[in-house]
Chain A
Amino acid sequence: MIPPFEYQSPGTLTEACRLLGEWGPRGKIIAGGTDLVVSLRKGEAQPQILIDITRIPELRRIEEAGGKIRVGAAVTHGEIASSKLIQQYGKVLSDAASWVGSPQIRNLGTIGGNIVNASPAADTLPALMVLEATGRVLSPGTDREVPLCELLRGPYQSTLIPVELLAQVSFPKLSSDFRTGFIRLARRAAMAISRMSVAVALRMVQGEDRIDEARISAGAVMPTPRRMSEAESILRGKTPDEETMKKAAQCISGIMVRRSGVRPSTAYKAPVVEALFLRCMRQALGNSP
């Protein structure tokens, strides 16, 4: 059963930071609660207070500023999936968000929560990686912007300390010459955790059939999602023909095995992540459904 605690819903960032400073490790931030409440029910945490950040207006906004899209940490997956702004300038993220959980979960669960929960299978993380997202971290004394990968330490472990709040995640608007793709595989057709997911963003050399820039990330294949830079190098400057893409695909499964080690699931996951990557590339290139 969920253990007793106090509950505060600050209306401003200042108030939230103050509460965090006051309670420190005795408190926990709650946004949608879709991960936290499950955790509390299991007895995995016994906070003395929950600090609900969903009533802070800045954390609930999606806005465009300085060439970037800024998404408040308490924006829900449903809002991200249906945001015209994100569909236009970061479609890979709205695609990914539309797969999280169920409609009910998407109405509650937030992007900030997804990041801080740091599940290796989180759908939004690979998308955020290829968007080169950063997170704005606040605490009573600090206000810093860090690359997303610096927020993730390991499976279910963010790098945030108890007095810190992830307030916002931002990414540069993806220009219209970028094509993106997002693919995920699960054991049933809906409301299922990703067995594996792949996100790509590609930009071709103008007027040519060669890749100028490739960004690749995959979910549920490593302790924390990262950019697959070695595979990206293989693609850079090349024509996306079968041979090149296959090389990149094999590089990706190689990275997976190096970072996660060989496990019982590797025999399945290695060839399948390659297949999913190829499909994701074709999706981005507009060749295939």
Chain B
Amino acid sequence: MRQIGMSIPRVDALEKVLGAARYGADVSLEGALSLKVVRSTRPHARIVSMETGEALKVPGVERVFTAEDIPGKNLTGIINKDQPVLASNRVRFVGEAVALVAAATPEAAEEAAGKVVVDYDDLSAITRPEDALRPDVPQLHEKGNLLLEMNVRKGDVQAGFQESDVVIERTYTTTWVEHAYLEPDAGLAYLDEEGRITVICPTQNVHYDQKDVASTLGLPVDKVRIIQSATGGGFGGRLDIIVQCLLALAVFHLKKPVRIVYSREEVFQATAKRHPLKIHYRSGARRDGTLTAAEVDILGDTGAYASYGVAVGMRVAIHATGPYQVPSVKVRSRMVYTNNPWSGAMRGFGVPQMAFAHESQMDLLAQALKIDPVEIRLRNALHAGSETATGQKLTASVGIGETLRKVKEWRDLRTFSRTDPRRPFIRRGIGVGSMWYGIGNTGVSNPSTAQVEIDPHGQVRLFTGAADIGQGSDTVLLQIASEALGVPLSEVHLIRADTARTTDAGASSASRQTYISGNAILDAVRHLGGEALREAGWLLGAGEKDLFLEEGIVKSRTSPATSLPIREVARRCERTLRGEGVFDPITTKQDPKTGQGIPYAAYAFATHLAEVEVDTDTGKVRVCQVVASHDVGRAIHPQNIVGQIAGGVTMGVGFALMEEYVPGETDSFVNYLIPTLKDAPEVIPILVEDREPTGPFGAKGVGEPALIPTAPAILNAIADAIGERIYDLPANLERVREAAQSGSRR
């Protein structure tokens, strides 16, 4: 293999270190107008009237748009189309967009936005998810306040609990978390020479954006072009429509270039958050540690609009058991609307929260049964041949056991002291957390398409709609193409995430691009290869059966001297060879009553071990080290994977210890803390390559798995250190101190 397993320099790194990469706020056009959004100050209200007269008088203001200016459908959404671009008669959360100002300068736009007067008639606001399902509360959407209820049923939990020698029942809660990608949302839009509305912005899915923009404007999709700019992080937060429809609406009417740049405060107020979840978990196990039953009830606050609420609701139900064999399962997952900021996709789609719960449960069972925490996990770990909670038989690439063994190896070699004689207030602990994560969208078709071309000059082009948001898909997909074509990577030209030139590759989410787009590219190369063989047959006067492709070179079974590189074929036949590829993971829908089915074609597995130091006087936790063992199937770019893991672990430290978004209060990096360099632990990555037969060169995905086991491991380590458990995230100073003090009182 020339590319697979090689940690080559990332193809986009040069531009970025030169400061030459153009992000959403870096692109502009002469004379571009500035846009500013007017936002609701009420959590739930009817819009009685809106006065734009004063705003329009501000010098430089061209227009103030409202919902009435939307020519097409004023409803967007990645799964459920329930979110207006501009609120028409009702607002459902503080920060909702109600009007859009276009002006010559950002100052004029801001001044005018401050002068738009909205008369609100307050409606009763739902702030707690528990209240959303009461009969006496307002219905926030047409179908009521219950966005989703999903059940997973298998076996007989009652019998299971009866068979148990121990039953552990606890409630876990998590709160809103912010993606905190470093680039605030921004973009530019204009009419191109062909009269197409063109939007350049950071995004995780240009093809979805194109559809919702076209729908908002009542235009055919080919009249809209979305180009992904360099994107400063996503983590699921840029899967929703954010600036795209606003920009397009302004261009549609004004026929002039427009740009918008969100302030960081706006990003905090008006983009998606991680779902707060309340998880009630009951686990049963036999004396030998084997799990018998799991009964889980999940209530999620999906906020004012659905966004990815359905996906999160389904994922948490399906992943609730953790990477273990549990014969009897009863899970109910409900996502409800409230007048809180909307929750959407965030790295892990609910599984980071769920893993906190199932991994805490495993440690509690281990403690009750006096079994080593790694051992109890090994005893129950899924393996090839296991059946999951949704009745899916796993056949291959189930590396959870190996990740546990690797972590155990590391742990057993370590000497470790629980106390520090120089600092009597310190307690140290070790904790383990495991996870599984289905690659791709849950139980639905989510194909990627891709194309590969070789022109008569021998130029090779790879077309993919996949957005690189920093996770490195550009490089990895090029590596896959280069390997399959037998062409050096530097000679493959990448065209990506531009709806005028690429076709749909689905979102850069659910850790799916390596697996799904990777496979689509292999499919494209296969088709290209087929065409190349046919052409070569003509050129060489050889029969179809005689020729074959090996590492991008046409060879003959009968005449060993034949060696024609694929680019040579294109040159000689003087036309462009093209291969179109598609890949859709094989999944089935979940049964509506029991959730049984095949939600994913491949799963990633991982185990983290965290070593922490708890200051029992102040509640400060220092995560000293995290050992992170990941079954990635195949490491196409090992350095990339290590980078994802280090980043995921650091994000996990934030999720575990310091990140909490408080609606109405959190508005900056002063009151929302993400880990700095000094908060990042030492990370020891251990890659396990349990080849996924359906994956490109055996690869699966790692983007979200990198994060998921970290907080569970840290929380388990804290419990190990202080002898008391925390059930609510984040384990901040106050919570840890209180737990440490009550732990020491015993």
Contact = CB atoms under 8 A, between A and B. Distances in A.
Contacts of B619: 268, 272
B679 interface: yes
Interface string B703-746: 00000000000000000000000000000111001100000000
Given A1-B107, A268-B733, A275-B617, A189 B678 contact: yes
Nearest to A276: B618
B425 A275 contact: yes
Contacts of A271: 617, 737
A15 to B, nearest CB: 31
How many interface residues does chain A have, given as a range? 10 to 19
Contacts of B679: 188-190
Interface string A266-289: 001001100110010000000011
Given A185-B620, A189-B676, 16 more contacts: A188-B678, A189-B678, A189-B679, A190-B677, A190-B678, A190-B679, A191-B676, A195-B733, A268-B733, A268-B737, A271-B617, A272-B619, A272-B733, A272-B737, A275-B618, A288-B422
Given A272-B617, A275-B617, A289-B423, A187 B107 contact: no
Nearest to B668: A38
Given A1-B107, A195-B733, A268-B737, A185 B618 contact: yes
Contacts of A279: 617
Given A185-B620, A288-B423, A192 B673 contact: yes
A268 B736 CA distance: 11
Contacts of A272: 617-619, 733, 737
A268 B739 CA distance: 12
A193 interface: yes
12 contacts: A1-B107, A1-B110, A185-B733, A191-B676, A268-B619, A268-B734, A271-B617, A271-B737, A275-B617, A276-B617, A279-B617, A289-B423
Interface in B283-323: none
Contacts of B670: 193
Contacts of A195: 733
B61 interface: no
B195 to A, nearest CB: 34
A268 B617 CA distance: 10
Contacts of A1: 106-107, 110
Pairs of residues from A and B, 6 with the lowest C-beta to C-beta distance, nearest first: A189-B678, A275-B617, A190-B678, A190-B676, A189-B679, A268-B734
Nearest to A275: B617
Contacts of B658: 187-188
Contacts of A289: 422-423
Interface in A177-212: 185, 187-193, 195
B391 interface: no
A245 to B, nearest CB: 14
Nearest to A269: B734
A142 to B, nearest CB: 36
Contacts of A190: 676-679
Contacts of B425: 275
B711 to A, nearest CB: 15
A274 to B, nearest CB: 9
A8 B734 CA distance: 46
B377 to A, nearest CB: 30
B314 to A, nearest CB: 34
B675 interface: yes
Nearest to A272: B618
Interface in B637-689: 658, 670, 673, 675-679
A269 to B, nearest CB: 9
Contacts of B732: 187
Nearest to B265: A42
A185 B679 CA distance: 14
A187 B673 contact: yes
B206 to A, nearest CB: 31
Nearest to A189: B678
Contacts of B738: 268
Interface in A149-202: 185, 187-193, 195
B565 to A, nearest CB: 53
